[in-house]
Amino acid sequence: ELKVEQNPLFLSMQEGKNYTIYCNYSTTSDRLYWYRQDPGKSLESLFVLLSNGAVKQEGRLMASLDTKARLSTLHITAAVHDLSATYFCAVDSTSGTYKYIFGTGTRLKVLA
């Protein structure tokens, strides 16, 4: 069964600090996605990682993928208040019936 786990579930951090969110998944997949959800809003796509070793960066966020370890990280550099949101990773699997599974989400709060 495809499972996607994130940690931490909650993260409160000071502005200017660095931190990493982890996403572990349980099955073979070369594709991993990161989404952002602001409070009361919908989800928007942040990054699409399509191969082992893929790294994508946008502003203060950098995502990477290690398919051998079945692990993706979302690194936050010098956090600012505007990054406060819930971040979800997701994995899809084409083995057998197609599946697209979201992680539990990490609720990030950046304190001024």
Partner 1 sequence: NAGVTQTPKFRILKIGQSMTLQCAQDMNHNYMYWYRQDPGMGLKLIYYSVGAGITDKGEVPNGYNVSRSTTEDFPLRLELAAPSQTSVYFCASSYMGAQLAGAHEQYFGPGTRLTVT
Residue spans of beta strands (DSSP E) within 26-84? 32-37, 43-49, 55-58, 61-66, 71-76
CB distance 22 to 71 below 8 Å: yes
**Amino acid identity for residue 87 in this structure:** Y
Q: Binding residue for partner 1 (CB under 8 A) from 68, 69, 96, 98?
A: 98
Judged by CB under 8 A, does residue 97 bind partner 1?
A: yes
Q: How far is the CB of 99 from partner 1 (least distance, A)?
A: 9
Candidate segments 13-21, 35-43, 56-64, 70-78, binder of partner 1 by CB under 8 A: 35-43
Judged by CB under 8 A, does residue 104 bind partner 1?
A: yes
